[in-house]
Structure 1
Amino acid sequence: MARKGTNDDVPVYTKQQFLTAKRFAGQTDVLHALLDDGQVYSMEQVENLLTDFKKKEVR
Structure 2
Amino acid sequence: MAKEPKVKEPIPYTKQQFLASKSFTPQQKDVLNAVLEDGKPYTREEVTHMVEEFAKRTVE
TM-score tier by shorter-chain length is 0.7 to 0.9
What's the TM-score once normalised by structure 2's chain length?
A: 0.79
- Asked which structure has the greater RCO (Cα within 8 Å, sep 6+), the reply is 2
Structure in which a larger fraction of residues adopt strand: 1
The list of structure 1 runs, each at least 4 consecutive aligned residues, that deviate by more than 2 angstroms after superposition, is none
What's the TM-score once normalised by structure 1's chain length?
A: 0.80
Unaligned runs of 5+ residues in structure 2 are 1-7
Structure in which a larger fraction of residues adopt helix: 1
Root mean square deviation of aligned Cα: 1.3
Number of residue pairs the alignment of both structures matches? 52
Displacement of 1:24 in angstroms is: 1.1
For residues 9 and 48 of structure 1, the distance between their equivalents in structure 2, rounded to whole angstroms, comes to 18
